[in-house]
Amino acid sequence: MAQRFGGKYSQGGTTTPQQDAIREARAAKRAVDAAGARSTLLFVPAIILIATSLNEGAGILLMALVGGGVLTLAAWLLRDGLRAEAVYHGRSIARRPALPRKMMATLLTGIGVAIAAYTGPSGVTASLLYGVAAAALHVAAFGIDPLRDKRVEGIDTFQQDRVARVVDEAESYLAAMTDHIGALKDRKLDQRLAGFQAMARKMIQTVEEDPRDLTAARKYLGVYLMGARDATVKFAEVYGRAPDAVARADYEALLTDLETNFIARTETLVEGDREGMDIEIKVLRDRLQREGIKPE
């Protein structure tokens, strides 16, 4: 029997919180991957440098290999730096990247271009100038790493640092789950895991928007996600050796239970914010009435 297509933009269509969260997560993932794709072309110069130096003698070839290696490392660092920057900008609260990958990539690009220029007719001075120019163009094209922690006004620094640590830990658990399930090459399992991860990240987003919710959500983002990661590792080991329908059903049931609890807890956090706002409004109204002011 044909199934009616439904969605947010379909006539009479509706979406579930899970579908909305998954859509947002996919959009965020595409943005991060797009940042990484921008650096792909920077792997090409190293290949060209080595290829054009094959018949130039052992000394030139050795320098080309060193220069190519430096340029390749620069491109790799740039790709990771762009991804880290995209994650940084996607969070309400975030610590600056511990390793300034983009700035390191800029420095290595300048060194690699200088070495590449020196393998040709350019002298030392001209090669250094080429390297400086390449580094400047690299900064102009890709910028530098974020140098400041991202914080929310009105929340103390200690609380925001706690949120950043918990979020980083939670994201590491989710990333490990993705890696282990992805190794199984099972699209349905990937999608099922993505559904749970989307709801977990919805809770992360809620906590980032109001760090005061951290106490209520910390066990979910810490203990429960760590347990989910451990269960994922064990399931991937068992299922990777020999597909087991029972083990798969148990694992999917675990994800369903966790997802249900995460949805309920996130809704509780949101409702708690609304309740707090209603209380503040009531207190304000009482204060105004005592002052002889009757709000509409």
Is the domain of 175 the same as that of 274?
A: yes
pLDDT tens profile 93-110: 677 888 899 999 999 999
DSSP β-bridge partners for residue 150: 94
Is the domain of 98 the same as that of 215?
A: no
In a domain, 254, yes or no: yes
Give the whole-angstrom CA distance, residue 236 versus residue 228.
12
Residue 257 has pLDDT above 90, yes or no: no
**Ramachandran angles phi, psi of 156, nearest 5°:** -65, 155
Is the domain of 88 the same as that of 203?
A: no
In a domain, 7, yes or no: no
| pLDDT score recorded for residue 62 | 93
pLDDT band at 156; cut points 50, 70, 90: low
- Which residue range is the domain that position 83 belongs to? 17-142
Domain count of the fold of the chain: 2
Is the domain of 132 the same as that of 23?
A: yes
In a domain, 99, yes or no: yes
pLDDT band at 18; cut points 50, 70, 90: low
In a domain, 228, yes or no: yes
| pLDDT score recorded for residue 83 | 82
In a domain, 151, yes or no: no
In a domain, 62, yes or no: yes
Is the domain of 30 the same as that of 106?
A: yes
Give the whole-angstrom CA distance, residue 16 versus residue 48.
50
Is the domain of 125 the same as that of 21?
A: yes
117-131, 137-151, 230-244: least confident range: 137-151
Q: 89, 113, 142: which is the final residue of a domain? A: 142
In a domain, 295, yes or no: no
- Identity of the highest mean pLDDT range in 29-43, 108-122, 215-229, 271-285: 108-122
| pLDDT score recorded for residue 283 | 56
pLDDT band at 123; cut points 50, 70, 90: confident
101 HSE (CA, 13 A, CB side): 19
Is the domain of 106 the same as that of 187?
A: no
For 107-125, give one letter per residue: b (16+ CB within 10 A) or e.
bbbbbbbbbbbbbeeeeee
CA 164 vs CA 37, 119, 152, 219, 237: distances in Å: 27, 46, 12, 15, 31
| pLDDT score recorded for residue 176 | 93
Is the domain of 191 the same as that of 277?
A: yes
Contact 266, 199 (CB under 8 A): yes
Is the domain of 86 the same as that of 179?
A: no
In a domain, 148, yes or no: no
Q: 142, 176, 202: which is the final residue of a domain? A: 142
Is the domain of 106 the same as that of 57?
A: yes
**DSSP state string for the chain:** -------TTSTT----HHHHHHHHHHHHHHHHHHHHHTTGGGGHHHHHHHHTTTTS-HHHHHHHHHHHHHHHHHHHHHHHHHHHHHHHHH-SSBPPPSS-HHHHHHHHHHHHHHHHHHTTT--HHHHHHHHHHHHHHHHHHH-----S-B--TTS-HHHHHHHHHHHHHHHHHHHHHHHHHHTTT-HHHHHHHHHHHHHHHHHHHHHHH-GGGHHHHHHIIIIIHHHHHHHHHHHHHHHHHS--HHHHHHHHHHHHHHHHHHHHHHHHHHHHHHHHHHHHHHHHHHHHHHTT----
pLDDT above 70 covers a percentage of the chain that reads: 75
Is the domain of 119 the same as that of 165?
A: no
